[in-house]
Chains A and B, each alone.
Chain A
Amino acid sequence: MFAFMLEALRDWRERRMRPVALRSAVAMAVVGGATLARPLPLALCAVVVFIFHGWKEGSSRPPDMDARSVILAFPLRPREIVAGKSLSALAAWAFAALVVSPPLALADIAWGLGASALAACFLSWLVAYFASFSAAFLSSLVFSKSDGLPGILLLALWLGSAFFSPAWAESNPFVQVWNILKAEGGAAPFLGMGACVLVSAALLSATAWLFAFLRRGRDA
């Protein structure tokens, strides 16, 4: 597990760390500068940033190989690979969160954002990042080189459900962040995050199962 995690982290550091930092910084600086570091636009921008990075992290692969081949080549058990990849994604998230934290601290100071609200936002971003990562990971395994139509569909379904059903609205990270900062909805954003965590876990389990299925097929 740790061997896969370290390998994934090395790959992330060499190929994705700088783009992650630069994209995040540019997006946050543009939105922050335009809105004078207002917390709500910055928080919504951070949702986009983290979903995007989660997606990129989940579907990452070397340029000359497909994702399925890379994963199948590792002599580890499926659940160890899934866990290792998830841990490396967590480290990548922590890095991205650190990079975007200065403008958020600025917003906190200038506009009186509460510490609990800020912490809840970070939790929401983490959950959104992982949901996006899980969908992309599964998708990359199913569709090999393609970043995956099912993943995009899952993402669209997830984010779009807020428009169709109020019951599902809180699973949308944009709605979560909105309600956290507007102090509306009480504990509903956390229920939404819980639902997202369950879905992410289900997606990762499906990934592990699919990985085991593919390996059995290959070995046979």
Chain B
Amino acid sequence: MEAQSGSPPDPPSRRKPGPFAAIRVSIALAWAVVSGSGIPAWAATGAPLPETRGPTRLEASLGFDGVVVPDRWAPLWIRSEGAPEAASIQVSRQAEGGRELGREAFPAGDGQRMESPVFIAPELDTIKVRLLSGGSILAELKLDAHSKAFPGNLVLVCGLSLEARLAISAALMPVEPLRAVDTDPTALPSNGLDYDGIGAIAVSDPGPLLSPAQREALLAWIAGGGRLAVFSAKAGREGLVGSLGIEDPREGRRGETGLDEGEGKAIAFGLGAVVRDRRELSDRSGPDGGISWRRILALEPYVESTRVGASALERSAKDATAEGKPDSVAGKARLALIAAMAAWLLAVLAAALLGASRASPLVLASILSLGLTFAGAGTLDAAFMRGASVSLIALVMPDSGAVVVSTLVVRGRPLPAFEWMDIRAGRGLDIEYAGLESGSFRFGSRRDDAWEHRTMRVGFSPASAEEDDLSFAALLGPSSLEGSTLPALVRGSYPRGGDEPPDLESAGPMAFALRGEASAGAGAGELGVLWWERLPGGEWKKIAAQPDWLGAELSRIIDLREGLARGSKARSFLIGKGAAPFLGLRVAGGPVREIRWILPLAGGRPPSRGGG
């Protein structure tokens, strides 16, 4: 979609001002306003018309060839030309009826293709993109968020034949269709979040074409369980796989990846893998080239996706929080409120009765009450959280260091809810990461629960800076802040080749859980979990069941058989409780306490270094 305001000037010789020039200009201006292609807000505000570099052009598109997957992140591509240097792009996400769900702004970057991840939430109806400069709207576009929504596996295909694309589209038939979208390798997203809706990628090796940002984003997706299949693969750094830096001497683990002879070699990377095949697809014989796209691309029915991504974590937190038991803080909070109200009433009564007809005691009592109320605000704020239970997930993308914060507000806790009394809370929840970046999240829903998706850029990149270690950190609630319901920290790490996890010395109690099938006894073949707990000296001791400190609420989130880990390819998990050694986080001005975290690991043994 494209909007254009202004047009290249005609050569001077052709321009002959006629008697109707003023009328024509008026009509043109009126048309520009009516058509909405470039509402000249400066005309209404009286602000001077910003100087542009030529004809102003704004283009925007959503998803891959317009295709998006509901409840997943999708890329929003924006390009502007001819805008002033200080121009900015504003992205407004709107629900049906025009209610704004969220807004983001960033520099326009003349001529550059900008990429802004958007969560395709059910309530999202329209995405409005504006090119702004000095308070003026230079151009505006509206995109329908669900016009090409596809609730299933989306496979990106680069440089493969139409036959291959059709074969991929039928890979999961008759169970379900999938959507194969042809795209240019250079147009792949450069933000890891934008891969959230992609089930797999199949490419004919384009060589080392990808930018560093694209490579990091692609690696982050593979590490989370994505599958990249490269055909006509070139050797070494001349090929895509080599340029990604994941040449692995142990490649060819067919037994683990389910590939047959002739279907390429799989290189495991984190929880995902890259399949590399040096042959051309057209060299193959038999139906579909004699290969199973389902195996090569590790395609699973949509609802059984095993990738670890932002949306998977969000679902887990939502389930856990919505079903949580009533918070013990409810009684204290209720008592505190009623006591504060009674104390204020007594103060006014005393001042009125003792002060006779003087106003000063009443004024003094009111000012004193106000002061005490604000002095106790921190405690009250933390205890109530606007009367709602708040659960956060903050996902730090390893590729870009962007922090995606999803906020779930569940009404009705810690205090009972009365629908008609609910207000649209104007004050946000302030979240601060390691003193580097902070953001405020406004809760604006009157429904029982609501998600707010926001992205923040932080000035650090976590362990992804290490060449051989991709990791992410996420918050997964709830835990506690001053006794109220707040988030817990979850950190995932995908070390390669037996790398050790990061230093966890500063963490508190720690456990190691290994998933697997019981090999003997009555429960043979069933999925079970073996537990180890770290002793104070750093040794690991095998225990019969999950440790008590894990807590019922967290164990529901990470229930290794039913919860987060059900579909995860991770075999083992390192779980801890205590201060957050990874991410300095403050919510509503206070430190987050009782943080619980989990690291999905590719390995199958308790860490011998760093953790104990």
Contact = CB atoms under 8 A, between A and B. Distances in A.
A212 interface: no
Interface in A181-200: 181-183
A40 to B, nearest CB: 5
B337 A106 contact: yes
A21 interface: yes
B424 A102 contact: no
Interface stretch (A27-35, A125-133, A136-144, A150-158): A27-35
Interface string A77-109: 000000000000000000100110111011011
A2 B66 CA distance: 70
Interface in B202-230: none
Nearest to A98: B366
Greatest chain B CB density within 10 A among A25, A41, A95 is at: A25
Contacts of B425: 111-114
B384 interface: yes
B460 to A, nearest CB: 30
Given A111-B387, A113-B426, A38 B342 contact: no
B341 A17 contact: no
B363 A98 contact: yes
B373 A106 contact: yes
Contacts of B377: 109
Interface string A30-54: 0011011111110000000000000
A35 B366 contact: no
B348 A25 contact: yes
B426 A116 contact: yes
B517 to A, nearest CB: 48
A25 B385 CA distance: 26
A13 B348 contact: no
Given A17-B362, A40-B423, A98 B341 contact: no
B342 A102 contact: no
Chain A contact patch, size range: 35 or more
B345 interface: yes
A115 interface: yes
Nearest to B355: A18
Nearest to A114: B426
Contact of B427 (A40, A41, A103, A113): A113
B339 to A, nearest CB: 10
A98 B367 contact: yes
B301 interface: no
Contacts of A108: 427
A26 interface: yes
A36 B337 contact: yes
A36 B424 CA distance: 17
B443 A112 contact: yes
8 contacts: A26-B345, A35-B421, A36-B334, A99-B362, A106-B341, A109-B381, A110-B384, A114-B425
Nearest to A94: B363
Contact of B342 (A29, A41, A114, A115): A29
Contacts of B334: 36
A22 B349 contact: yes
A159 interface: no
A117 interface: yes
B427 A112 contact: yes
Given A29-B342, A110-B381, 10 more contacts: A21-B348, A25-B345, A32-B341, A39-B423, A108-B427, A110-B384, A111-B387, A112-B387, A112-B426, A113-B425
